[in-house]
């Protein structure tokens, strides 16, 4: 992955911690979908824009399909980073595993301009995550 330093576990852990705090408890299969969205600067720019209103994944795909064309590749590249970040958050007790889901325990704070910009996109993205997990994977064309 060409962005190993830019998309590292510290940034990823802070992003996941903030997302879980905003969203609430999240399924294991959904948490690994977060970083491919939020570590993409173009998607973050779109999602954090106050004028952006997205009500569904279909609408996001229709409006910004060009930004999602390589989603599966980003998903595959960021899967190890996602797992490592989840492991770090778990070991440091920032998250906990309950009934097949991951829950927020305390917020990991990282003072970074990039993390702050990403956090601004979280409310818009988290509103889309109420959709069925299988449906999300299907719409994003992720093959396991």
| Cβ proximity of 42 and 52 under 8 Å | no
User: What gap in Å lies between CA 5 and CA 87, rounded to an integer?
Assistant: 18
Closest CA to 84 of 5, 3, 12: 12
Predicted confidence (pLDDT) at residue 68 exceeds the cutoff of 60: yes
The domain tally of the chain equals 1
- Quote the domain boundaries for residue 115: 9-139
Confirm whether 3 is domain-assigned: no
Residue 1 domain-assigned (yes or no): no
The secondary structure of residue 53, as a DSSP letter, is: -
| Residue 144, in any domain of the structure | no
Token pair of 12, please?
């990823």
- Tens-digit pLDDT profile for residues 15-64: 999 999 999 999 999 999 999 999 999 999 999 999 989 999 899 999 99
Residue 113 lies in a domain: yes
């Amino acid at each position: 992955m060409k962005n190993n330093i830019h998309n590292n576990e510290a940034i990823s852990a802070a992003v996941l911690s903030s997302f879980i705090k905003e969203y609430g408890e999240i399924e294991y299969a959904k948490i690994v979908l977060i970083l491919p969205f939020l570590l993409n600067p173009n998607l973050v720019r779109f999602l954090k824009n106050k004028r952006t209103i997205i009500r569904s994944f279909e609408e996001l795909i229709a409006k910004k399909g060009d930004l999602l064309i390589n989603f599966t590749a980003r998903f595959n590249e960021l899967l190890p980073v996602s797992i490592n970040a989840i492991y770090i958050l778990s070991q440091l007790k920032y998250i906990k595993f309950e009934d097949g889901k991951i829950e927020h325990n305390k917020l990991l704070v990282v003072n970074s301009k990039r993390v702050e910009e990403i956090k601004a996109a979280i409310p818009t993205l988290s509103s889309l995550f109420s959709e069925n997990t299988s449906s999300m994977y299907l719409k994003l064309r992720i093959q396991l």
